[in-house]
Amino acid sequence: MKGIFFACILFLVTTLLLPIFILNSCDMEVPLRKSTVVEEIRESDMKIHVYNHETKKIMELYLEEYITQVVAAEMPGSFELEALKAQAVAARTYAIWRQNIYGEEGHPSHPGASVCTSHAHCQEWLSLEELTNRHGKRWVEEYLPKIEESVLSTAGVIMTYNMQPIEPLYHSTSGGKTENSEDVFASALPYLRSVSSPYEERSPVLVDQKEVSIEAFINSMRSKNRDIQINRNNIASEIRILERNQGGSIKNIQIGNKTFTGSEIRQLFELRSADFSVDVSRNHITFTTRGYGHGVGMSQWGANGMAEEGKTYKEILKHYYQGVTLSKLTSYQ
C-alpha cells in the first residue's frame, strides 16, 4: 500500500441495520499504545457477554480483552504481526456481527451471551491460566505482548460490507485456494468469494493422509446410508469423484450406488478438509487431503505467508474478504 488514506468518512447507520453500533469508514492506522489492552482502551472499550463452556457461566468482558484471548487461542503467537492484526480484526468483526444479530438476548444455545468460548460454535477463547497451561509461561512472556500489540494497533476496527459488519469466516489452511461460501455453507455472500492463497507452504497441515481399512470404510458408509450397495471385491471402481468446487473441495462423490457431498465424507471419516483424493490398495483406502478447515474466508497460514511477503493486515483482509471496508467503531474515536 503506497500511502495512507487520511480522510475518514463518518456515516450513520439506521437502527434497523445496526441497532447497537455506529461506524466510521476508516483506512488509517489506530495509534499504538504501549500498555496492556484493558488498561489502555478501557475508557472507549465496550463490554460483551461471553458464555464460558468450561465454567458454564456468562462472563462480562471488555471487547478488546476478549479479542486478545481469542487471537491467542486461534492463531499461533509466532505468526507475523500483520497476520495477527488481520486475525484481531476478523475476531472483533465476528463478535460485533454476532452481537448485532443476537443482542442482549444472546444466542439460543447460550442465552444471555452472543458469543461463547468454543471454536466449534463461535471462536475459541482461552483464559490466561488456560494459555499458560497449554503453552507454558515462556510462551506467555514471549508471545502475549505481540498479540496485545496486534489488538491495540487495530482497536475498534472491523470489516463492513454495505455498512454492515460481515460474517468473517476463517480457517487454518485452504490448500491453495479458498472456497465460495455457498459451496460449503447455505448462503452466497459477496465478500466470501474463492480467491488464491499461494503462501501456505509452511503450514504443517497443507497435506495430510488418513488410512482406513476396507472393512471400516464399508461399515462407515453403511452407517451413513443403510441402503448403500458396495462391491467390496472391486472397491476402487465403486468410488468416483463427480465434481469439485471452485476452490478444489469435492462437491459430489459417488460411492457404490449413492452420491454424497465432500463435506459429508469429511465429517464421516474426520478428514482435515473436503479437498481430498482417494487411493485404494488391497486392504486399505487412503484419503489425501489438502488444507485444514472449511476453506471459506481467510486462511490463517495464507495470511501469515502474505505477511512474510510484506503485505499489511489491510491488504490481507481485503484479499480474503472481497469488497469490504475497514471501519471503526465510533466509541474509539
Assess whether 153 and 196 both reside in one domain. yes
Residue 282's pLDDT is 87
Assess whether 197 and 89 both reside in one domain. yes
Assess whether 241 and 321 both reside in one domain. no
Cell 484471548, residue located: 69
Assess whether 102 and 239 both reside in one domain. no
Higher pLDDT, 332 or 88: 88
Predicted confidence (pLDDT) at residue 331 exceeds the cutoff of 80: no
CA distances from residue 9 to 1, 270, 330 in whole angstroms, order as listed: 20, 47, 12
Among 5-14, 42-51, 271-280, top mean pLDDT goes to 271-280
Give the 3-state secondary structure of residue 311: coil
Q: Count structural domains, the chain.
A: 2
In angstroms, the CA 112 to CA 267 distance is 30
Assess whether 30 and 85 both reside in one domain. yes
pLDDT, averaged across the chain: 89
Assess whether 195 and 218 both reside in one domain. no
Residue 43's pLDDT is 57
CA distances from residue 245 to 110, 136, 161, 250 in whole angstroms, order as listed: 34, 41, 25, 6
Residue 332's pLDDT is 74
Containing structural domain, residue 219: 207-290
Residue 42's pLDDT is 61
Predicted confidence (pLDDT) at residue 34 exceeds the cutoff of 70: no
In this prediction the pTM is: 0.86
Assess whether 79 and 191 both reside in one domain. yes
Predicted confidence (pLDDT) at residue 78 exceeds the cutoff of 60: yes
Predicted confidence (pLDDT) at residue 143 exceeds the cutoff of 60: yes
Of 130, 129, 132, whose CA–CA distance to 140 is shortest? 132
Residue 291's pLDDT is 98
Region for 41 from its dihedrals, namely left if φ exceeds 0, alpha if ψ lies in -120 to 50, beta otherwise: alpha
Assess whether 67 and 156 both reside in one domain. yes
Assess whether 231 and 194 both reside in one domain. no
Question: Would 1 be classed as within a structural domain?
Answer: no
Assess whether 188 and 124 both reside in one domain. yes
Beta-carbon contacts of 119 under 8 Å, excluding residues fewer than 6 positions away, are 73, 74
Assess whether 87 and 40 both reside in one domain. yes
Name the pLDDT band for 45 (thresholds 50, 70, 90).
confident
Question: Would 2 be classed as within a structural domain?
Answer: no
Assess whether 109 and 194 both reside in one domain. yes
Name the pLDDT band for 333 (thresholds 50, 70, 90).
low
Question: Would 4 be classed as within a structural domain?
Answer: no
